[in-house]
Amino acid sequence: MVTTTTKDLFLNPRAFFDAKKAEGESLKVPVLIVLAIGIVSAISAYVLALPFLEYLPPEVAGLGPVFAAFGSVVALIMAIVMWVVFAGVFHGISALLGGEGSFKRTLAFVGYGYAPQVIGTAIYVVFVYLFMANLQLPPASAISADPTIFADLMKDPLIQIGGIISLLFVLWSANIWIFGVRAARNLSLKNAAITVGVPMALYILYVLFTLL
């Protein structure tokens, strides 16, 4: 049996997934990887929400921490949902290109591909922390007069730089996903690149549009 290492996943994904394919299908490690991203995203959502709680109406101000915690839970759940969505999209497109293999294996290999984003998401949280440390919120009256102020605040260079750095790690994941989908769905490298490349290009364009 060919053994694989974490280093292979990052630097030699073809060999990693070819070896993994010879093993039984398991979601244990992919679930842990995605949960790690979800937890870091939840922390980021909580930190971002805290300063804005003072703008809540007096009648619900006491529920501020509950709202912030709810946002964190949503961020955690969304990480899992996006994992399943990306795997579903890749599985569907690869089926149109003649791909064969179980959805469980596709899901597992896409989960492994999330590994670089654990680092990227953690770096983004650092930029969020720096943004919050220097944040000067306008008075409530100004926000009432112009609700778009919140959106403008999120255009801060620190948030944009953190988002772009995070996108670089998404691109790293996309490269790993190409080899993962190739192995999981018995595709040629060209068809695997199409399967992953088209939806990822659309996703990255969308994120850039929201960031800039």
Residue 161 CB partners (closer than 8 Å, separation 6+): 127
The answer to whether residue 1 is domain-embedded is: no
Q: How many domains does the chain have?
A: 1
The answer to whether residue 182 is domain-embedded is: yes
Mean pLDDT of 177-189: 97
The pLDDT of residue 42 is above 70: yes
The answer to whether residue 2 is domain-embedded is: no
Instruction: Compute the mean pLDDT over every residue in the chain, rounded to the nearest whole number.
Output: 88
The answer to whether residue 153 is domain-embedded is: yes
The answer to whether residue 7 is domain-embedded is: no
Q: Hey, what are 134's tokens?
A: 């220097």
pLDDT of residue 178: 98
The answer to whether residue 187 is domain-embedded is: yes
Q: Hey, what are 177's tokens?
A: 């996903």
Q: DSSP string spanning 155-192?
A: T-HHHHHHHHHHHHHHHHHHHHHHHHHHHHHT--HHHH
pLDDT of residue 52: 74
The whole domain housing 69 covers 23-211
The answer to whether residue 15 is domain-embedded is: no
The answer to whether residue 18 is domain-embedded is: no
